[in-house]
Amino acid sequence: MYQFSYADIQTDSVADAKERERQLLDRSIELLTEAAAAGSQSMQAIEALHFTNRLWTNFVEDLGSGDNALPKELRANLISIGLWLLREAEDIRQGRTESFEGLIEVSQIIRGGIQ
């Protein structure tokens, strides 16, 4: 019979959540990279922007929750970054810019910071 302490289960859960966040960011980066190659008016761009929008909307909502255990200042900084990413994605969608470079670079930085 297996017995786990609450701390062990909680640590595994946090590690699992971080791994899922990394995987989602990897997928977003992959889609954005494909979209950059295909062009801002391509189906790849539509898919990438939709995925990235959903991902960061969920991240921002979670970061704004009182249940989020990250330090308040870090949460506020990540919310600001998330809102910038959402605005940048909307600018591409609206044709105000065609560059995916900022979205990709910032997403890579955030992904690299998940420990």
Q: What is the pLDDT of residues 53-92, one digit of tens each?
A: 999 999 999 999 998 989 999 999 999 999 999 999 999 9
* pTM to 2 decimal places: 0.87
Chain centroid to CA 114: how far? 11
Task: Outline where the chain has alpha helix (H).
Answer: 6-38, 43-64, 72-93, 101-113
Question: Around Cβ 105, how many Cβ atoms within 10 Å?
Answer: 12
Q: What is the pLDDT of residues 3-57, one digit of tens each?
A: 544 344 444 588 898 999 999 999 999 999 999 999 999 999 999 999 999 999 9
